[in-house]
Amino acid sequence: MAEAAAQAAASAALLTALQYGDGQFPGGGFAFSWGLEVMVAEGRLARAGFADYLGGQLSQRWGRCDRVLVAHAHAAAGDLAACQALDDLAEALATVEAARTGSRRAGLALLGTHVRLGTPGAAGLRALADGQRLQGHLPVVQGVVLAGTGLAAAAALAVSGYTAASAVATAAIRLGLIGHLDAQRALQQVRPLLAALADAPVPPTDAICTLVPEADLAMMRHADLSLRLFSN
């Protein structure tokens, strides 16, 4: 009986992760390319190099920064003061304005969806945001709401990492850089990396750093595009 209960719990956790990691889940990420639009427009990235580019973004941006914020927010879910401090840290770390604005907008969109779904912890964050005491950065919101869904930390990190990868792959499809099968190949290629990052020890917040200068500079140039499909 204990084994059956454990199997049922594992299946429930898997289904929960599938729901919140689904690209169709209304989290607001569809509006952002995180610099990819400029790189495609300027011819700086070819179809053959997309999977390696995606892996670099995940290891150097998500793995070293967002992952850490998600993990700490997951652990702090229910402690609004701690979540607010993490959100302030996310604001300070986002030195590129387009990335900072995108993180806020995507985070607040995700938060709004979870408020409507009644996810535990979402309403408290929403109240802080409504009182202008929370910017609503995406990794902090992810950590809190995924904890509210009942996902363990490793599963929450896997969902966060997968949604980051899927968002970039979807942007690449919409920009005509790759096809749907290319996207699946790229996601398949980065899966071991995401799994390793999701299971890796989480460093303290003062160890956060990122190293994606080409993408950051591309986001800075995004406003110069005459025609834009994405917000950054």
Q: What is the mean pLDDT of the chain?
A: 94
Q: In terms of residues, how long is the chain?
A: 232
pLDDT at residue 192, as a whole number: 97
Query: What is the model's pLDDT at position 52?
Result: 96
Cα 44 vs. chain centroid, distance in angstroms? Answer: 24
CB within 8 Å of 46: residues ≥ 6 apart: 177
Mean pLDDT, residues 147-173 taken together:
96
What is the secondary structure of 95-115 as a DSSP string?
Answer: -SHHHHHHHHHHHHHHHHHHH
CA 141 from centre of chain: 10
* pLDDT at residue number 85: 98
Predicted confidence (pLDDT) per residue in 105-141, tens digit = 999 999 999 999 999 999 999 999 999 999 999 999 9
User: Predicted confidence band at 98 (pLDDT cuts at 50, 70, 90)?
Assistant: very high
pLDDT tens-place string over residues 74-91: 999 999 999 999 999 999
Q: Which residue has the tokens 């889940």?
A: 25
Is-contact 210 139, C-beta < 8 A?
A: no
CATH number of 50-221: 1.10.4190
Q: Is the pLDDT of residue 205 over 90?
A: yes
pLDDT at 9 over 90: no
- What confidence score (pLDDT) does residue 23 get? 85
Domain ranges of the chain: 50-221
Higher pLDDT, 227 or 149: 149
Where does the chain have alpha helices with state H? 2-21, 36-41, 50-57, 67-76, 80-93, 97-117, 122-130, 138-148, 153-174, 180-199, 213-221
CA 186 to chain centre: 17
Mean pLDDT of 153-174: 95
Q: What is the mean predicted confidence (pLDDT) over 149-153?
A: 96
For the segment 19-33, the average pLDDT, to the nearest whole number, is 86
Residue 8 pLDDT: 85
